[in-house]
């Protein structure tokens, strides 16, 4: 599966320690319509495990990981209804 080119919403969580990237994801994912995509850019190493785990627990679709222009990991999530 290829990753989206653009996100409907990108959360910049650089410099935020666990659990803040997941807190922001949980608070803001509803801003994206069902079927929409959001990206979480986070340099906290825990995000690599936390974002997919959050998706499983919340019934959202984890699309994968790539890197932002500055080399920071970016995690892709598709919002389900």
What is the model's pTM?
0.94
Whether 4 is covered by a domain: the verdict is: no
Checking if the pLDDT of 1 tops 70, the result is no
- Those residues with Cβ within 8 angstroms of residue 65's Cβ, 6 or more apart along the chain or in another chain: 48, 73, 74, 75, 76
Checking if the pLDDT of 2 tops 90, the result is no
Rg (CA), the chain: 11
Checking if the pLDDT of 53 tops 90, the result is yes
Whether 71 is covered by a domain: the verdict is: yes
Active site residue ranges: 18
Whether 3 is covered by a domain: the verdict is: no
Question: Per the structure, how many domains does the chain have?
Answer: 1
């Amino acid at each position: 599966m290829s990753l989206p080119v653009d996100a409907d919403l990108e959360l910049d969580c650089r410099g935020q320690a666990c659990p803040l990237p997941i807190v922001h994801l949980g608070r803001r994912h509803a801003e994206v319509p069902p079927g929409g995509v959001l990206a979480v850019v986070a340099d906290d190493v825990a995000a690599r495990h936390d974002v997919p785990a959050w998706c499983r627990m919340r019934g959202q679709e984890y699309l994968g990981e790539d890197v932002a222009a500055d080399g920071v990991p970016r995690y892709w999530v598709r919002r389900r209804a």
